Amino acid sequence: MIRNYLKTAWRNLWKNKAFSLINILGLAMGLACSLLIFLWVQDETQMDAFHANGKQLYVIIHRAYFDHKKAAGYSTPGLLAEELKKDIPEVIYATQFSWNQDHTFKVGDKILKLNGTYASPDYFKMFSFHLLEGKPASALSTPTSLAISKKMADNFFGSPQQAIGKTIKYENQKNFTITAVFDDPPKNSSLQHEFIVNWYTFLDENSWTKDWGNNGPMTFFQIRKDANPVLIDKKLTHFLDNLDKGQQKGKFYSELGMQPFAERYLHDHFTDDKVDGGRIGYVHLFSIIAVFILLIACINFMNLTTARSLKRAREIGVRKVVGAMRPMLIRQFLGESLLLTSIAVLFSVILMALLLPLFNQVTGKQISLPFDQPIFWFELLGLTLITGIVAGSYPALFLSSFKPVKVLKGALKMTSGVVIFRKGLVVFQFVLSVVLIISTIIITRQVNYVENQNLGYDRENLIYIPLEGDLAPKYDLFKNELSRMGGIQEVTRTTDVPTNIQNSTGGVDWDGKDPNINIQFTQASVGYNFVNTLKLKLLQGRDFSKDYPTDSAGYLVNEAALKRIGYKDPIGKRLTFWGKKGTIIGLLKDYHIASLQQAIVPLVLRLDEKATWGNALIRTKPGQTKLALASMEKLCKQLNPNFQFSYYFSDEQYQKLYNNEQVVSKLSNVFASLAIIISCLGLLGLAMFTAEQRVKEIGIRKVLGAGLISLFSLLSSEFLILVGIALLIASPLAWYGMDKWLQNYAYHTVVEWWIFALAAIIALLITVLTISFQTIKAALVNPVKSLRSE
- Contact between 527 and 610 (Cβ < 8 Å): no
3 state DSSP class of 197: strand
Distance, CA of 488 to chain centre: 36
pLDDT tens digits, 579-600: 899 999 999 999 999 888 888 9
The candidate with the shortest Cα–Cα distance to 574, out of 510, 508, 506, 505, is 510
Residue 2 — pLDDT band, cuts 50, 70, 90?
low
Residue 579, Ramachandran bin (φ over 0: left; ψ between -120 and 50: alpha; else beta): left
Residues 6 or more apart from 225 whose CB is under 8 A from it? 56
Cβ–Cβ < 8 Å for 455, 593: no
Examine the pLDDT at 418 and tell me if it is beyond 70.
Answer: no
Whether 215 has a pLDDT exceeding 50, the answer reads: yes
DSSP of 670-738, one letter per residue? HHHHHHHHHHHHHHHHHHHHHHHHTHHHHHHHHHTT--HHHHHHHHHHHHHHHHHHHHHHHHHHHHHHH
CA-CA-CA-CA dihedral for 244, 246, 250, 256, to nearest 10 = -20
Overall size of the chain counted in residues: 790
Amino acid at 410: G
Task: Give the pLDDT of residue 128.
Answer: 94
Inter-residue contact 302 to 336 (CB < 8 Å): no
pLDDT at 408 over 60: no
Task: Mention every residue, 6+ apart, whose C-beta is less than 8 A from residue 685.
Answer: 18, 19, 22, 23, 300, 303, 304, 307
Beta bridge partners of 615: 466, 494
| Nearest-angstrom CA–CA distance, 66 and 518 | 6
CB-CB contact of 603 with 611 (8 Å): no
641-663 pLDDT tens trace: 999 999 999 988 888 888 888 88
Position 411 scores a pLDDT of 47
Strand spans (E) along 158-205: 167-170, 174-182, 195-198
Q: Considering the chain, what percentage of its residues have pLDDT values greater than 70?
A: 87
pTM for the structure as a whole: 0.85
**Between vectors from CA 206 to CA 57 and to CA 499, what angle results, nearest 5°?**
85
What is the chain's mean pLDDT, rounded?
A: 86
Distance (Å, rounded) from C-alpha 270 to C-alpha 259?
12
* pLDDT top residue among 657 and 116: 116
Q: Tell me what the mean pLDDT of segment 617-633 comes to.
A: 91
Give residue 301's pLDDT.
72
Has residue 154 got a pLDDT over 60? yes
214: three-class secondary structure by DSSP = coil
Residues 232, 223: contact at Cβ < 8 Å? Answer: yes
- Kindly tell me the number of DSSP H helices and DSSP E strands found in the chain: 25, 26
Lowest-confidence region among 333-337, 569-573, 754-758: 333-337
Q: DSSP string spanning 69-83? A: EEEEES---TTHHHH
- 532/323 Cα distance (integer angstroms): 91
Alpha-carbon gap, residue 269 to 70, rounded angstroms: 14
Q: Which of 21-30, 396-405, 441-450 has the highest mean pLDDT?
A: 441-450
Mean pLDDT of all residues in 181-196: 94
Whole-Å CA distances, 593 to 496, 522, 597, 645: 10, 10, 11, 26
CB 46 within 8 A of CB 709: no
Q: SS3 letters for 325-392? A: CHHHHHHHHHHHHHHHHHHHHHHHHHHHHHHHHHHHHHHCCCCCCCCCCHHHHHHHHHHHHHHHHHHH
Measured between alpha carbons, how far is 395 from 418 in angstroms, rounded to an integer? 10
- The arithmetic mean of pLDDT across residues 774-781, rounded, is 69
